Structure 1
Amino acid sequence: MNAYLVFEDGDVFPGEWIGTPKMVAGEVVFTTGMTGYQEVMTDPSYAGQIVTFTYPLIGNYGTVIGESESSAPPCTGVIMSECYSKADLGEWLDQHGVPGIASVDTRAVVKKIRSKGALRGQITSHPIFTEMEVASPDSVEWVEAVSVDEPVFHTSSNPHAPHIVLIDFGYKASILHALQELGCQVTVVPWYWSTKEILDLKPDGLLFSNGPGDPKALTPWLAGWKSLVKQLPTLGICLGHQVLASAFGADTKRLPFGHRGSNHPVRNQLTGEVWITSQNHGYTVSADSLDPAEWVWTHVHANDGSVEGLAHRIYPVTTVQFHPEAHPGPSDAAGLFRDFVTQVTAKKEVEVVG
């Protein structure tokens, strides 16, 4: 059955339906990873987006129980060159109501996005762009759609384990698992929770998660978060990194076509090492908006020089734009979680002794 990816400027890319055959609209983005398609499709940061896979063969190892980053794919749709098993992957997409197109010239799609920048598109049965009502990327609706509604408690067998409150903008399950593997108790809370509600949980540390959309959509909440993180060791990842930088006065801007994939080189400014990292974001912290009296710029994207990591000079706040919990990430990047938990534990021990 014929299907089409139609861009808002009228360009059409034909293919064949997979998943649920329904008309959807969203920003068309691309990801460059050769593996991890299940993790990509279930990453909450892709909410509202039509994801194009640059690797030419998707579905060749099926779907694996326990490898999803959320309970269901939040992306609007998927585009691929070849679907290895339409019966398996197509059925999995259909179970979650996600439409897709296979047999698309994805190389041409990516070249278009790289030359034109962010564009809206549609997956449809007709090769004509039709206006549809879709929330803007700078709307808080995208975070609302993927955040928890009530706190979720994850206990530890150790009653003295550090307690991390994970502020949920659309967190990946692997972030939670990384904290649990280090022995933490974790409470996941809605993104809009007040400072008082969070402090009432008596956290030892805070983690601001990844998530979809424009960080400027969260501007009304920045003042509260700034007062909160001055009190506790805090780690920010992806959108959380952008939010924390913004809370201390930095600005953010949209990248031409984003960083999405598992092969992005990031240079550690402190050691000179280059890590190959997993990333998924369309916005970045503006380097010239960072106050050098407040921030140490710890990591930089080796391709375009964008900000990839920060450490506050006064408060116990560290942030990274990439995903240290990701499977393709380097072991040294995963060590950022160990450093964070060590910092949290040290503060907890000082408070107990004091």
Structure 2
Amino acid sequence: MEEQSVHPSAYGLILSLAWYAQRPWKTSDARLVLEDGSIWRAKSFGVSGTQVGEVVFNTSLTGYQEILTDPSYAGQFVLMTNPHIGNTGVNTDDEESRCCFLASLIIRNLSIWCTFTSICFNTSNWRCSETLDDVNTRAITRRLRQDGSLIGVLSTEESKTDEDLLEIARRWKIVGVDLISGVSCDAPYEWTNKTDLEWEFQKNQSFGENLHVVAYDFGIKHNILRCLASYGCKITVVPSNWPASETLKMKPDGVLFSNGPGDPSAVPHAVETVKVIIGNVPVFGICMGHQLIGQALGGKTFKMKFGHHGGNHPVCDLRSGRVDISAQVRMSGAIST
């Protein structure tokens, strides 16, 4: 019998057809109850149970795997405004951390089609505390835009009444809660992996060659570390509670205070660490780290109405007037006093 060849672009389709036949996840009836009293009924395709978190929306058209594995979303339900999620499956290259940290993923429609020519797994392999689809995400987004982020409870448990879930939502608070201790590493480690050359914008550049950077892990994303490694830096990642005195003993060329979840005012120990290091070593911060630097210098942070979550946020350079489109994940702002 003549062997039939398969075009590489068909591999993803074949895998998808196999998954479609198997449907590797089970759905169950679920309710999303928001603290404003609204109730949204849909289907859960993740684990069963009851979970509470802050509901925010993300405007990215793709990148859901990075969102699922971004530690900055710990304690939050992420609602995707793009109605189709799962089109490209997930893969081993796009993970931003060691596991899924967000509390729930809320989507309009779960796609089981995957057309990657590389190895591709289904999104159901990534387990949040809860995952919800077949819900009116546009209506919820409009409500969040109007009223601000809301605490929500997602449940598949029929024994709990709507009133029970509403009470849980109204009792739970995210402000004042230390979330970085739950996502940080436990011990220092060295990072050496670089950005793949096909994704590297500054090829063959070694801006940071031989520079030692100590990175505080408040929920750091792998891509940040890959970028630093691509510039030639030696990187030591340390836990969020790592003493400043131990960092200074390493005599680094710079210290990075990373992104992370939750309320920056809820981690005064991190602010104290920043205070000790500032002035002794050059520092830079991203997201949570930037806000901690602001507090260490006497500023204050405040909770934004619904935050910035997505890959299409414009930022204007006031000196040149140039506008760049940025990816952002933040719920707090910083002001000087």
Pairwise same-fold verdict (TM > 0.5): yes
- Deviates further, 8-17 or 106-115: 8-17
- Deviates further, 170-179 or 81-90: 81-90
Question: What residue is the counterpart of 1:212 in the other structure?
Answer: 261
Question: What residue is the counterpart of 1:145 in the other structure?
Answer: 182
Provide closer, same or farther for how the CA distance between residues 266 and 2 of structure 1 changes in structure 2, counting only shifts above 3 A. same
Question: What residue is the counterpart of 1:312 in the other structure?
Answer: none
Question: What residue is the counterpart of 1:59 in the other structure?
Answer: 86
Tell me the TM-score normalised to structure 1 length: 0.76
Write the letter of the residue equivalent to 1:171: I
Question: What residue is the counterpart of 1:164 in the other structure?
Answer: 213
Provide closer, same or farther for how the CA distance between residues 184 and 5 of structure 1 changes in structure 2, counting only shifts above 3 A. same
Provide closer, same or farther for how the CA distance between residues 90 and 223 of structure 1 changes in structure 2, counting only shifts above 3 A. closer
Write the letter of the residue equivalent to 1:14: R
Q: Is the 8 A contact 1:156 1:183 kept in 2?
A: no
2:58 corresponds to 1:31: yes
SS in 2 for 1:108: helix
Question: What residue is the counterpart of 1:124 in the other structure?
Answer: 155
Q: Is the 8 A contact 2:151 2:172 kept in 1?
A: no
> How big is the shift at 1:271?
2.4
2:268 corresponds to 1:268: no
2:44 corresponds to 1:17: yes
Write the letter of the residue equivalent to 1:47: A
Q: Is the 8 A contact 2:75 2:174 kept in 1?
A: no
Listed as ranges, the gaps of 5+ residues in structure 1 are 291-354
SS in 1 for 2:267: helix
Percent sequence identity over aligned pairs? 37
> How big is the shift at 1:72?
0.9
Alpha-carbon distance in 1 for matches of 2:138, 2:36: 18
- 1:76-104 per-residue CA deviation (whole Å, 9 max, x = no partner) reads 011000010199645313xx353211111
SS in 1 for 2:247: helix
- Deviates further, 219-228 or 192-201: 219-228
Provide closer, same or farther for how the CA distance between residues 235 and 162 of structure 1 changes in structure 2, counting only shifts above 3 A. same
Q: Is the 8 A contact 1:4 1:13 kept in 2?
A: yes
Q: Is the 8 A contact 1:37 1:58 kept in 2?
A: yes
Q: Is the 8 A contact 2:31 2:155 kept in 1?
A: yes
Q: Is the 8 A contact 2:34 2:166 kept in 1?
A: no
Write the letter of the residue equivalent to 2:151: R
2:68 corresponds to 1:47: no
Alpha-carbon distance in 2 for matches of 1:237, 1:266: 15
When Rg is computed on C-alpha atoms for both structures, the one with the higher figure is 2
2:223 maps to which of 174, 190, 208: 174
- Within-5 A mapping of 1:261-300: 261-286=310-335, 289=336
1:190 maps to which of 224, 239, 243: 239
- The count of corresponding residues between Structure 1 and Structure 2 is 285
SS in 2 for 1:226: helix
SS in 1 for 2:79: strand
Listed as ranges, the gaps of 5+ residues in structure 2 are 1-27, 115-120, 195-205
- Deviates further, 227-236 or 174-183: 227-236
Q: Is the 8 A contact 1:50 1:78 kept in 2?
A: yes
Runs of at least 4 residues of structure 1 off by over 3 A?
A: 86-90, 130-137, 155-158
Q: Is the 8 A contact 1:45 1:213 kept in 2?
A: yes
Q: Is the 8 A contact 1:166 1:208 kept in 2?
A: yes
Write the letter of the residue equivalent to 1:7: L
SS in 2 for 1:70: coil
Tell me the TM-score normalised to structure 2 length: 0.79
Q: Is the 8 A contact 2:77 2:104 kept in 1?
A: yes
> How big is the shift at 1:137?
3.2
